[in-house]
Amino acid sequence: MKTSEVIADLKRRFPNEPEYHQAVEEVLTSIEDVYNKHPRFERYNLIERLCIPDRIFAFRVSWVDDSGKVRSNMGYRVQHNNAIGPYKGGIRFHSSVNLSILKFLAFEQTFKNSLTTLAMGGAKGGSDFSPRGKSDMEIMRFCQAFVAELWRQIGADTDVPAGDIGVGAREVGYMYGFYKKMAREFTGTFTGKGLSFGGSLIRPEATGYGNCYFLLNMLATRGIDIKDKKVAISGAGNVATYTAQKLLSLGAKVVSMSDSGGSVIAPDGFTREQFDYIFELKTYMGGRLHEVPERFPELKYYPGERPWKLVKCDIAMPSATQNELDGSDAEALLAGGCFAVSEGANMPSTPEAVHRFIDARILYAPGKAANAGGVATSGLEMAQNSQKLSWSAQEVDNRLREIMAGIHDRCVEFGREDDGYVNYVNGANIAGFMKVADAMMAQGIL
């Protein structure tokens, strides 16, 4: 296999899918040597079967808004690979959603889920529906119309969706409710459910907490204490807020948060009171970060700007969306003394930024390793649902810590270079790939 030839072929066959090409290229570059050491892989054309999704569902979702107007959006589910377990991955509702983005996310999910050691294949779905500004009833009608199309393709042992951008507990509740009505079964077909109907404690917190646990493991390899370290975070959604919450409890200083409107900066770190307000504003009040200085005039808001060039930090945890940190942002972070980047979002750093971090030999964890705590805890929710049991928060949190430590160990095992530097990108890609490849080889040409 020659990475450049495979990429050229995929670009020719699937044009206009830049995010998909980007994600595939990153993984293939990491695994090229390992792949070429196993001639059997080539005989079975494993690479093509691993890069192209098993199947894709695309459908129109029509719904009626509060004014009585009939609206239509596109809906999708990309079932990428189920070699090691049922398809598993979130649903994204955002105006930017298209097939390229969902194909990149489903591809990444396959390796991420493999890293967790749990039995989960890779999938992703979503819609270009934007929940922003929609009423609760509009959200419900949309979720029902979406699941009316999707429900036949999913199931507790087939394909288990969850949340992602624009999809949290409320949307999962509406989707699960409608699924239950159509399928006439009460099973764990969605994760991220409410606690009263099969949800798991710690699932809402899991991606952010898991990223902090991964970061602690990375820092430990260099004997660095998190206390008083300045951490720049982007985003102010599920992942970003629980990352910030855990960091504050660990004694770190959170110096930024952002939303799609701009960034709020606190050069010496948000106080608990300031953070609690931001959490309430973004999680429950549907607010925007530009409102923060009205309540705390000492905090500065920068419209239209991402945090990376606005404030000095020791650590960066991008937690909003893909390609939100580019080469010049990476330069600025490195110039400011940043020595660790741990990704909460999926593929937030552009390839140029990733190269700069690795060339500078800083601790750099790609999303598929660092943010795997969310889907891992979804896997724990599936396990609880199968057993018809619920575990305590302590038990789930302990398992999450263990899983993140295990992912870190595998990244070190597969990613350590001759000079001792741990290349977490190679480590995560190779470790994730080997398990899926082994299962695919054993199961024949499918």
Ramachandran category for residue 17: left, alpha or beta (phi over 0 → left; psi -120 to 50 → alpha): beta
> Would you tell me how many other CB atoms lie within 10 Å of the CB of residue 193?
23
243 part of the interface to ligand NDP, by CB under 6 A = no
In this structure, the strands spanning 230-233 and 315-317 are parallel
Q: Closest CB to ligand NDP among 223 and 304?
A: 304
From the list 236, 265, 396, 400, which residue makes contact with ligand NDP (rule: CB under 6 A)? 236
Looking at the Cβ atoms of 30 and 378, the one nearer to ligand 2IT is 378
88 forms part of the interface with ligand 2IT (CB under 6 A): yes
Smallest Cα–Cα separation from 85: which of 55, 107, 114, 51? 114
| 259 interacts with ligand NDP by CB under 6 A | yes
Pick 6 or 343: Cβ nearer ligand NDP: 343
* Residue 58 CB coordination number (10 Å): 12
State yes or no: residue 125 binds ligand NDP (CB under 6 A): no
Q: Choose the contact partner of 379 out of ligand 2IT, ligand NDP, none; CB within 5 to 8 A by kind.
A: none
Q: Which backbone phi and psi does 84 adopt, to 5 degrees?
A: -115, 0
Minimum CB separation of residue 32 from ligand 2IT in Å reads 25
Per CB under 6 A, the list member of 90, 126, 131, 210 interacting with ligand 2IT is 90
Rg (CA), the chain: 21
Distance CA 346, CA 318 (A): 9
DSSP 327-341: HHHHHHHHHTT--EE
Using CB under 6 A, which of 235, 366, 415, 432 touches ligand NDP?
235
Question: Which residues are designated catalytic?
Answer: 124
- Piece of the chain touching ligand 2IT by CB under 6 A; list 84-92, 143-151, 347-355, 383-391: 84-92
Site string for ligand NDP, 365-384 (x = CB under 6 A): ------x--x----------
Task: For residues 226 and 316, give the distance between their C-alpha atoms in angstroms, rounded to a whole number.
Answer: 13
Which of ligand NDP, ligand 2IT, none binds 166 (CB below 5-8 Å, type-dependent)?
ligand NDP
- CA atoms of 288 and 241, how far apart (whole Å): 14
Both tokens of 325, joined, read 């940190």
Minimum CB separation of residue 378 from ligand 2IT in Å reads 3
Task: Compute CA 154 distance to the chain's CA centroid, rounded to the nearest angstrom.
Answer: 20
Q: How far apart are CA 427 and CA 407, in angstroms?
A: 9
Ranges within 83-112 binding ligand NDP (CB under 6 A): 94, 96
Q: Which of 261, 336 has the CB closer to ligand NDP?
A: 261
Q: Is 344 exposed, middle or buried (0-12, 13-18, 19+ CB in 10 A)?
A: buried
**CA 410/CA 105 separation, integer angstroms:** 22
* Shortest distance (Å) from residue 376 CB to ligand 2IT: 8
Name the site residues for ligand 2IT (rule: CB under 6 A): 88-90, 109, 112, 162, 164, 191, 346, 374-375, 378
Name the site residues for ligand NDP (rule: CB under 6 A): 94, 96, 163-166, 207, 235-240, 259-261, 319-321, 344-346, 371, 374
